[in-house]
Amino acid sequence: MRPNDDELRIVIFTACYFVLDGVTLTIRRLASHLRANNVQLKIVTTAPSDYKQNDEDVIFVPAIDMALAEPGSGYAFGSSLDEESIKKIEKFEPNCVHFTVPDFVAIDGIRWCQKNNVAYMATWHSNYADYLKYYYIDWCFGPILRAYLHGFYEQIPVIYVPTPFMAKKMETNGFGIHTKIGEWGRGIDLKLFDPARRSEHFRRSKGIQENDVVLIWVGRLVAEKRPDIWLEVVERLAEEGYPVKGIVVGSGEYAER
């Protein structure tokens, strides 16, 4: 039987909680929703080197910088669940654990859940194995990483993915044999993204005419996100005579192109 909201004590394992990206925003919205419903919550994550704030709801773990990330980006995987972190988790006494990243600290977390009979689940946020081909190392590390991901996720009772497409893709890639794949749908906040909020002043400041259609790229400008597809669409529509303008909200290696 599911506990009442005020009886829930949840620990979320997530890397890079202090790096602004889509995954972090999703987890922060989830954390805000849970707290608004009187759920007790702790975050297990890595810390930037310059992080000094003392947050009692955050448990920091040792980290390893991500090899493919831009220098200074702050992206890192948890390397282990050290004794101090375990003490803090056990003092909190969670009754549910949520894993968002398949790093080494999450493996330790799964073992802790299994040992202590604590319910746990996961959400899928990134196509890690698919990213390797954009850095031309899939031939070398792809089979190893895919085997690791199968070993990680197939021992989790249920994994939630954002769309039916991702559920089908994971099943095609061999996931779902020992784990259940569920859908945790997303949506657009129609109060925030509403035509009534249109700013003619902003559009003019960017050289956008009244009847121009704006195609926005929001995200990191890195190879695995495929900004080249977005750029190709903008250029093709413009060549065919459509009043299209492109705006980028983000940064990365493609920003100089």
**Residue 12 tokens, joined:** 């979320």
- Tens of pLDDT, residue by residue over 155-196, are 999 999 988 998 998 899 889 999 999 998 877 788 888 989
Considering the chain, what is the average pLDDT of its residues? 85
Strands (E), the chain: 9-13, 40-45, 58-60, 63-65, 76-78, 96-99, 119-123, 158-161, 180-183, 213-218, 244-249
Query: How many C-beta atoms surround the C-beta of residue 143 within 10 A?
Result: 11
pTM: predicted TM-score of the whole model, two decimal places: 0.79
219 phi-psi bin (left φ>0, alpha ψ -120 to 50, beta other): left
